[in-house]
A and B are shown apart, each in its own frame.
Chain A
Amino acid sequence: MVADFEVEFIERDDRNARFLVRGASPAFANGIRRAMIADVPTFSIDTVRFVENSSVMFDEMIGLRLGLVPLTTPLDDFEVGETVTLALDVEGPGTAYSGDIETSDDLVEPADDNIPIIELKEQQRIELEADAVLDTGREHAKHQGGVAVGYRHLQRVEVVGDAGEFDEGEPNILRGVIETEDGELVATDEFDHDLAERYPGKELAVHDVPGAFVFHVETDGSFSVEELVTRAAESIGARAAELETKVAV
């Protein structure tokens, strides 16, 4: 153990999570954040073969929309550069949704099935075949698995005394997660981001806790938050391993 990391979840869902990491340097925290955005690959449609497109939009515009549909990505089963073929065949009147996309491999399918692609009127039809490729967000933003990834410092709130009796009751807005004097972690939305709400009539001191980062991670549905975070850390480790072997020669 070179560093004593401590991880604690504050909010947790399959696609959305908030967790506290203690014992990280700012460089490391930022490395993980950047790796989550740009270095963890996801599947995204990259080539489209249009058999028919009698809709009101150009092939390229529909292609762009298809590229932005998140696809489930089992990273254990695929390497970067591998492709999976998908198909879409919808006739108007009606709307073509991402859920209408058929897949040749059940492991790779649209993560949401209610994304509208295009509205088709009577007599309009699209029929196409598409290749999804596994690549990283560094190549194209459509391959980003993390859509809202960031961190804030954990902030420690201490009561230093009572507010003056005739002080204006002004709001004291703070966003993120606070640590109370009892060591409890509280997301600020629990008290409407207003410290005056939680500690009425108190004088407070707020400090950043060194080395404690509250990550907020949201994925596009390609994989779970755990997968994204783990893969990001592993990608940094893998690059360090590569550098170590190359320097040793």
Chain B
Amino acid sequence: MELRVIEKTDAELRMEIAGEDHTFMNVLKGALLETPGVTAATYDMNPEQSGGQTEPILSIKTEEGTDPLDAVGDASRRVQDLADDFVTAFDAAA
């Protein structure tokens, strides 16, 4: 996973997350939309054959007072908690 910030203001962030695909990006986007202070989150990814930009680009907008990079941090914390809770629940049933 290689990060490259393309554009960053106090309320907006565009960042390339190289080496990831829909598997992680969609989970991350879902978690971002549930993160407090995030008003919009999406990612764009082009197929390999299209040429040009094929690595996913994450775009988010936040409310005033929330740094977009912190929001990404919070969301990834949330994804880890989700994964841990899922494993716990699964092991309990298995």
Contacting pair B82 A226 (CB below 8 A): no
Binding site for A on B (CB under 8 A): 1, 3, 17, 20-24, 26-31, 69, 72-73, 76-94
By DSSP majority rule, is chain B's interface helix, strand, loop, or mixed? helix
Give the residues in chain B near A240, CB-CB below 8 Å: 24, 27-28, 76-80, 83
For residue A107, give the distance in angstroms from its CB to the closest CB of chain B. 22
Q: Does A7 contact B (CB under 8 A)?
A: yes
For residue A26, which residues in chain B have a CB less than 8 angstroms away from its CB?
30
- Taken together as a complex, chains A and B put the C-alpha atoms of A226 and B29 apart, in Å, by 27
Binding-face segment, A27-35, A44-52, A67-75: A27-35
Given the known inter-chain contacts A34-B23, A233-B90, A240-B76, please indicate yes or no for A28 contacting B82, CB distance below 8 A.
Answer: yes
Residues of A within 8 A of B (CB): 1-9, 19, 21, 24-28, 30-32, 34-35, 38-39, 138, 226, 229-230, 233-234, 236-237, 239-244, 246-248
A2, B73: Cα distance in complex, Å: 15
CA distance A8 to B93 in the complex (A): 6
Q: Which residue of A lies closest to B77 (CB)?
A: A244
Q: Given A5-B85, A244-B73, answer yes or no on A237-B90 (Cβ-Cβ < 8 Å).
A: no
Q: Which of B20, B24, B30 contacts A25 (CB 8 A)?
A: B30
